[in-house]
Amino acid sequence: MVKSCNLDYVLIGHSERRKFFYETDEVINKKIKKALSFNLNVILCVGETLSERESKKHFEVVKRQVLSAIEGIDNFKNLKIAYEPVWAIGTGINAKPEDANEMHHFIKEIINLNVLYGGSVNENNAYSLLSQHYIDGLLIGNSSLKKEAFNKIIDIAELF
């Protein structure tokens, strides 16, 4: 269906799909395999809830999500990862750049892929996020719907 619309990218594993549609790690793995079999570019979304972060389980949760998502996959050419802390999505509260950078570094130690940051990205925090060593790009949600804000984010991204 995605290919019939001439699209090349899919998001898989977004927290809202996990929460509201009860998508498990196993379902996400199957979706990734199917998307890759059609030569689609996959952006795998991973991230912890606020309670998981506060209880210091955030690394464990993200590691489980990444490893289960890539199980049985041997070609990662069309795969990217987006770290989106659930508590930051649509809330206007983004992870501190240093905390996001730390998680990106952690993910890259599991699998060396491009890792994007998503979670309340806007024109005011884009520079500080992109300035971090391990953040490869941004996955922009609500700000992509606001022309002026989105254009400012693009201008900032072009600096890197």
Beta-bridged to residue 42, according to DSSP, are 10, 79
What are the residues facing 45 on neighbouring strands? 82
Q: Which CATH class is domain 3-157?
A: alpha beta
Half-sphere exposure of 117 (CA within 13 A, CB side): 29
pLDDT band at 70 (very low <50, low <70, confident <90, very high): very high
32 vs 90: which has the higher pLDDT: 32
pLDDT of residue 116: 98
pLDDT at 94: 77
Cβ-contact 115, 108 below 8 angstroms: yes
Residue 120's nearest CA partner among 99, 89, 157, 97 is 89
Angle, vertex CA 89, rays to CA 100 and CA 11, nearest 5:
90
Backbone phi, psi, residue 77, to 5°: -55, -40
Instruction: For the chain, give the number of residues.
Output: 160
Report how far residue 127's alpha carbon sits from residue 80's, in angstroms, rounded to the nearest whole number: 21
Which sequence positions are flagged as catalytic? Answer: 14, 84
**93 pLDDT more than 90:** no
